[in-house]
Structure 1
Amino acid sequence: MKKPQNVVVFGELLMRLDASHSNRFVQAENYQASFTGGEANVAVALAQWGIVSSIVSRVPSHSIGQACVNHFRRYGVRTESVLRGGDRLGLFFVESPVPPRSGQVIYDRDATAFRTLQPGDIDWDLTLADADWFHFTGTAPANGENVREVLAEGIQTARKRGVTISFDCGYRSQLWTIEEAAKVLPRFMEMSDVFIGSEHDARTFFDVHSQGTESLRDLSEKYTLKTVAYTDRNISSLGMHRYQATIHENGKTATSRIHEVTPLDRIGTGDAFTAGLVLGQLQERSLQSTVEFATAAAALTHSIHGDFALLSIDEIEGLANGDSIGRIRR
C-alpha cells in the first residue's frame, strides 16, 4: 500500500476577531472570534483534500489555547506537534472592506506563546519522520531571532531527510520593517525549494529587478529553486478583483486564466493558492494543471467567510476547467 503523503507546517496560531456587520473599529460593539494562521490555513485545505497535514506551533496551556487546537482538529489537521506553554495567544482584529472603503487589520502579537519558542524545544527528527513536504511563511521569522533559529533547525532537518521545503514570502509590515525582512529572508530562501510570492517581493527582498517571466527565472536561478510562483491581483474602484498566477519550473512557465471575483473575505486566499500548488506538486500534475487548480482554489476562497479553503477538489477543478458558476446544485 502506498504511504499517505504528509505535509508539515510551522507557524503561529492566532485568534481572529472580526468587527460585526462590517462596522468600523470605532463603532464595533461585538466581534466574531475564530482561529487561524497562515501556515495552518494551508494545512486545513490540504486535509480537506486527503493529505495528512500537521501543525508545528506553540499555544498557551489554558482553555483558549486548547480551543484553538480543537478548532484545527475539527478540520482533520494533526496537532500532536503543537507545544503548550507561554501566556498569550496572538490576536488580530479585522475590519471588513466595503467598496470603495478598504478594510484593515490590526495585530496584537507581542509576547505570545509562539514568540517564546527556543532552539531545541521541538524534536524535529520526530516531527518530520514521515514528512514529504515542509511549509512556512515569512511571518514566522518575523517573530524574532529565537523563532528564526527554531525554524532553521526544522529546515535543516527537512533538507537532511530530502523533504521538499516551500516558503511563502507573506511580508507583514506590522510585524517588521522592509529593511529587517530584506536582511533575514534571503537566508531562508537559500534553504528552500519552492517560493510563493510576487514580482514586488522579488525586487524588495531578494534584489531581483527583472520583470515578468524573467523575474521568475532570475529568482529561480539566483537561489537554485525548483519552483517559483507569483500571484497577481488588480482591484477596481468598485471592488472587483482580477486574480491570476504564474508558475516557473525547470525552465518552463505556465500562467493561469484570470478570475474576476467580488470578495466576501480575501484573508486566507493566498494560503489556498499555496495549498493548491502543494497538492499539484505532490500529485505530479502538469504545470498548467497545477497553476489553474491553485488559482481556482484561491478564487473560490474569496467566497467563504474566514480563512479556510473549505472546498472540495471537484468544486475547484470545475472552476479551473471553466465550468459554469453561480448555479445552485440540486
Structure 2
Amino acid sequence: MKKVITFGEIMLRLSPPGYLRFSQADSFDVVYGGGESNVAVSLANYGIPVEFVSRIPDNDIGECAVAELRKKNVGTQFIERAGDRLGIYFLEMGAVSRGSKVVYDRAHSAIAEIKPGTIDWEEVFADAQWFHWTGITPAISQSAADVCQEAIQAANDLGITVSTDLNYRKNLWTYGKKSHEVMPDLVAGCDIILGNEEDAEKHFDIHPEGVDVSQGDTIDADAYISVCQQLMERFPRTKKVIVTLRGSLSASHNTWSGVLYDGTKLYKGPDFDITHIVDRVGGGDSFMGGLIYGLIHYGEDVQSALNFAVSASALKHTIFGDANLATVAEVEKLMGGDASGRVSR
C-alpha cells in the first residue's frame, strides 16, 4: 500500500492533571501532538503506512517527540533535525460551563524557521498516494507557508491526492499576513477540504445560509450545503468538501456529526450525543484521519467513509491526549450501532 504523507508541527502539550486550573497546578501532564501528527498517528493505528514531515530540534525534548511518533508506528525519516526549540502549548481542561483554555508558547519554534528548498519533496512523495496539511502550518510563519506551498505543488505535479483541514487559529496569524492573504493559493491545490463554518468564514468570508451558528446546540446539516457549494466554486480542483458539525451544549457535553458534499450529493454522517467528554482536543484531526482511511479503504462507498470518520472522532472524545488511539474494530463496532461500552473479555 502506498504511503500517506503529513506535514506540520508537533508540540509539547502541558496540562494540569484532571480538571485543575492553571492556578491550581503544581505539576503538568505531558503529551506530544499537533494537527498533522495527530492525523498521522490515527492512520498508523489503522494500518496505513504514513510519514510525518517536520523540523524538530536535535535535543532531548525533540527526541522525546520523535520517539513518541515512532512508538505509534509513524515514519520519521523525513524529519529535519534542526532549530532551537519545540513548540509548547498549555491546556487547561474545561468542564460543564467552564470552557477549556489554550496558551501557546511556540514563537521561534524549529518549524517556524524552516526554509524553502530544504525538503526534497520528490523523495518524500516517492511511493505516496496522499498528502495532508492543515491551516495551522502556514499560520506559523511565512517560511512555513512557503514550504507548504512547495509540498502542495510537488504533490499536484505527481498526481497525489491533497487534503487540508482549514483549521483557523486566530492567535497564530501574527507574522504580518492574514489568513485570507495566504490560504487561497494553498487551498487551490487541494482535492479534499475539511472544515467548519468558522474556518470558511475566517479564511474566505464564506457563510452558511439559513442557520444561526451562534446558538451552540444541535445543527441542521442541510443548511451547510451552501458552504460546500461556495468552497467548490471558489476552488474548482476540489472534489469533496466535508464539514464537521459540533453542537456545544457544554464543555462536557457535545453533539457531533458531519456532512460530505461531492459536487452532486450531500452525505450525512451519524449523530452522536457525547455526554461525558474526556478530551476533545484533536477531535477534528481524528475525523480527518478517519476520513482519509475511509476514502482509501471503502473507495467509492463515500457514505461508509464518512460514517467511519464521524464514528472515529466520536471515540476520540473518550481518549485522553491529542491523538486518537481507537482501533479499526472499535470504530466499526460503533459504526454498526454498538455504543454500549460493555467490557470486552
Q: Same fold (TM over 0.5)?
A: yes
Contact 2:287 2:310 in 1 (8 A): yes
Q: Quick one: distance in 1 between partners of 2:121 and 2:302?
A: 31
Aligned 1:102-181 pairs, distance under 5 A? 102-176=99-173, 180-181=178-179
Question: Take 1:293 and 1:327, find their aligned partners in 2: how far apart are those partners?
Answer: 20
The alignment's TM-score, normalised by the length of structure 1, stands at: 0.96
Q: What does residue 285 of structure 2 align with?
A: 271
Amino acid at match of 2:200: A
Alignment partner, residue 207 of structure 2: 209
> Using the alignment, how far apart are the partners of 2:262 and 2:13 within structure 1?
35
Distance 1:27 1:151, change over 3 A: same
CA distance in 1, matches of 2:341, 2:293: 25
Aligned to 1:308: 323
Separation in 1 of the partners of 2:58 and 2:251?
Answer: 45
Q: 1:318 aligns with which of 310, 316, 333?
A: 333
Report the AA paired with residue 169 of structure 1.
Answer: L
- Structure 1 Cα separation of the partners of residues 339 and 137 of structure 2: 39
* Per-residue deviation, residues 87-136 of structure 1 (Å, max 9, x unmatched): 10000001011212111011101011111100111011101111100000
1:95 aligns with 2:92: yes
Q: Which secondary structure does the structure 2 equivalent of 1:68 belong to?
A: helix
Aligned to 1:223, which of 226, 235, 243? Answer: 235
C-alpha distance in 1, partners of 2:300/2:340?
Answer: 24
Percent sequence identity over aligned pairs: 37
Q: How big is the shift at 1:246?
A: 0.2
- Which position in structure 2 is the counterpart of 1:187? 185
SS state at 1:279 partner = helix
Is residue 113–residue 141 contact of structure 2 (8 Å, CA) maintained in 1?
no
Corresponding residue of 2:314: 299
Cα distance change on mapping 1:172 and 1:200 into 2, 3 Å: closer
2:31–2:322 contact (8 Å) kept in structure 1: no
CA distances 1:144-180 after superposition (whole Å, capped 9, x unpaired) = 1111111111111100110000010111122126981
Task: Return 5+ residue gaps in structure 1 as ranges.
Answer: none
1: CA distance, partners of 2:104 / 2:198: 23
* Residue of structure 1 in register with 2:249 after alignment: 236
Is the CA contact (8 Å cut-off) linking 1:253 and 1:287 kept in structure 2?
Answer: no
One-letter code of the match for 2:307? Answer: E
State how far apart, in whole Å, the 1-side matches of 2:258 and 2:3 are.
25
CA distance in 2: counterparts of 1:45 and 1:285, whole angstroms: 21
Q: Which residue of 1 aligns with 2:261?
A: 248
The count of aligned residue pairs is: 327
User: Structure 2: which 5+ runs fail to align?
Assistant: 210-223
Aligned to 1:55: 52
Does the CA contact (< 8 Å) of 1:58 and 1:82 recur in 2? yes
Instruction: Check conservation: 1:132, 1:163, Cα contact below 8 A.
Output: yes
Q: Could you report, residue by residue, the CA deviation over 1:184-223 in whole angstroms, capped at 9, with x for unpaired residues?
A: 1111111111100012322332233343212212211320
CA distance in 1, matches of 2:109, 2:251: 38
Residues 289 and 158 (structure 1), Cα distance of their counterparts in 2 relative to 1, 3 Å cut? same
Could you say what secondary structure the match of 1:9 adopts? strand
- 2:2·2:49 contact (CA, 8 Å) conserved in 1? yes
Greater Cα offset, 277-286 or 164-173: 277-286
Cα-Cα RMSD: 1.5
- Quote the offset at 1:324 in angstroms: 3.7
Aligned-pair distance for 1:294? 0.2
